[in-house]
Amino acid sequence: MPHEQKTRDVLWVRARIRELDEQGYGRFRLETGTPGWEWAEGVPPFEGPLPIGEEFLRQPAESVGNRTYRGKPRDVVVPYVLPGEEVLVRVDLRPQKKGLLRGWPETILSPHDGRVLPRCRHFGACGGCALQHAAYELQLAYKEEKVRRLLSAQGMRDVSISPIRGMAHPWGYRNKMEFTFRSDGIPGLHAKGTYREILPLSECHIAHPDIDRVREIVGKWARERGLPGYDKDRHSGLLRHLVVRKAFATGELLVALVATETPDGYASSLAELGAELRRTFPGLRGLLWAENRSLSDAVQVERLHVLEGRPYIEELLGGFRYRLELETFFQTNPLQAEVLVSTALAYVREVLDSSANALVVDLYSGVGTFTLPLARVAERVVGIEVVPASVEAARRNAAQNAVANVEFRLADAGEGLQRLLREWGRAPSLLLLDPPRAGAGARTVRTVIDAAPEAVVYVSCNPATFAEDAARLMDGGYALVSVIPVDMFPHTPHVELVALFRRTRLG
């Protein structure tokens, strides 16, 4: 919350946090007539970790004036708090989207038993994590309840939801990071609440330690040689992004610099960087330079230069070997990806156990993360994917793993499924969906219902859109048998799930 707000736009209140919402923010209701305080001279700055206790209430009396909230009742969203906590909240009285008010926790007056000290010193400033202040067991309970609440909102109150599958060691789990260079050449992450400010990091506890070490080495290299980062306002500078991929099972490492120029004028400096990376990481397989002159701040590759090694690494998942290039989409948490795949396969085996000549369709098949394992339990599997590079990678992965009973087709999910059904002339035994965050949507779900598979296994990275699609499937003659949440991203509000639907009637 900006500190330069006018005094009358800000109110301090004591609040009891009701719940955490889908984004991990605490909520409470600010009722008309709620007593509070305002500072006589603007808004004092907030710095450092959240204080616990009554520090605010011991401020000099002349600094504070009593004030009562006279607006209409509104929900206030507050970061870094937990349900049941009594908190002194600084409330911005200017309504935001959906009529919500934004608040900032100045003092935790009565902490939750599950409150812990965040491991990362950048917590609260960095936009990456939102729940490091909550014990991991509490995070898991919140995510499980989040799934339950979203399904209940769609009328699914009696669904069997299994205990969430979390991590034994929920740190250092990310196998890929994209850092953005500041104008001074330091690679960092976006600060919370802004896309323009880049936070210089001294640590990142959710990235694999090798990735964090690469960030340190590259940052030191760029600073010592005076290589400027990209300035978004002036559209000038050299270094834009640092992308690092780490294969957990094979130990291989891929490092890429995204820049506005060709690497030709920096050969000597890049050779020194490559030597340092090789000395530090025996698993280094490639050092890349990607040109990107576009105004967009997203990682884009207009031309790729392989400075050393090869442009990919290989990773093992579920007993299969996958080739990962710079832009290949792959599960970010490989340890929990194993859980996700094995959970989905358990459902598939349950359905296909007594089925002969099983035909299975994998919608949104990507690079074959689910398609290749499905080939072990079905006679034939067809993956349908709309991204050309992913289809090419999936075909290569199938060939590399000598999986002959799979086929990958480049098509929109719904249209590709319709064409496939016309060719087969029969319903698939099972259909697996793993759509993006937007979900499958009404049209594709209708096509799935018309295809009439015996069962649908739905892998979701967004329980909110899953709940909408689930309601559509149930209206179309499918019963939601069970749901298993999986924690793919500890210390964030995100949760994934795997669900099984069985056909009860033709829709």
pLDDT digits (tens, 9 = 90+) for 333-352: 999 999 999 999 999 999 99
120 is catalytic: no
Share of the chain above pLDDT 70, in %: 92
For the cut 90, the answer to whether the pLDDT of residue 254 exceeds it is: yes
pLDDT of 176-231, one tens digit each? 999 999 989 999 999 888 778 899 999 999 999 999 999 999 999 999 999 999 98
For residues 189 and 157, the answer to whether their CB atoms sit within 8 Å is: no
The whole-model pTM stands at: 0.91
pLDDT for the residue numbered 181: 95
Q: Is the pLDDT of residue 277 over 70?
A: yes
Residue 59 pLDDT > 80: no
Domain residue spans of the chain: 7-115, 140-168+333-503, 176-325
Q: Is the pLDDT of residue 40 over 80?
A: no
pLDDT of residue 47: 42
Binding-site residues: 331, 364, 385, 434
* pLDDT higher than threshold 50 for residue 3: no
Picking from 453, 499, 442, 443, the residue whose alpha carbon sits closest to that of residue 477 is 453
pLDDT tens-digit map of 423-473: 988 899 999 999 999 999 999 999 999 999 999 999 999 999 999 999 999
pLDDT band at residue 9 using 50, 70 and 90 as cut-offs: confident
Quickly state the pLDDT bin for 53 (edges 50, 70, 90). Answer: low
- Which amino acid, one-letter code, is at 352? L
CA 446/CA 414 separation, integer angstroms: 9
For residue 322, pLDDT beyond 80: yes
3-state secondary structure of 278: helix
The CATH code of domain 176-325 reads 2.40.50.1070
Q: What's the confidence (pLDDT) of residue 355? A: 65
DSSP assigned state of 51: P
Candidate list 120, 129, 204, 461, residue with the active-site label: 461
CA pair distance 17, 130, nearest whole angstrom: 16
The pLDDT, as a whole number, for residue 231 is 86
Per CATH, 7-115 and 176-325 having the same topology is answered yes
The residue-averaged pLDDT of 4-18 equals 81
* Whether the predicted pLDDT of 505 surpasses 90: no
Burial 331-364 (b: 16+ CB within 10 A, else e): bebbbbbbbbbebbbebbeebbeebeebbbbbbb
- 269-297 burial string, b = 16+ CB within 10 Å, else e? bbeebbeebeeebeebbbbbbbbbeeeee
In this prediction, residue 56 carries a pLDDT of 45
Among 166-175, 274-283, 295-304, 476-485, the range scoring the smallest mean pLDDT is: 295-304
Sequence-distant (6+) residues with CB within 8 A of 406 are 368, 371, 372, 374, 375, 380, 381, 382, 383, 398
CB 255 within 8 A of CB 266: no
Highest CATH level, class, for 7-115: mainly beta
Q: How confident is the model at residue 52 (pLDDT cuts 50, 70, 90)?
A: low
Cβ atoms of 361 and 417 closer than 8 Å: yes
Residue with tokens 């850092």: 179
- Asked whether the beta carbons of 318 and 373 are under 8 A apart, the reply is yes
What are 21-31's pLDDT values in tens digits? 999 999 999 99
Kindly state the tokens that stand for 149.
């609440």
Give the tens place of pLDDT for each residue, 366-422: 999 999 999 999 999 999 999 999 999 999 999 999 999 999 999 999 999 999 999
Q: Are 206 and 173 in contact (CB under 8 A)?
A: yes
Sequence ranges of the binding site for S-adenosyl-L-methionine: 331, 364, 385, 434
Top mean pLDDT of 209-213, 326-330, 355-359 is at 209-213
pLDDT band at 64 (very low <50, low <70, confident <90, very high): low
Q: Inform me whether the pLDDT recorded for 2 exceeds 60.
A: no
CATH class, 140-168+333-503 region: alpha beta
**430-433 and 359-363 beta bridge pairing:** parallel
Of the pLDDT bands very low, low, confident and very high (cuts 50, 70, 90), residue 296 is: confident
Contact 131, 118 (CB under 8 A): no
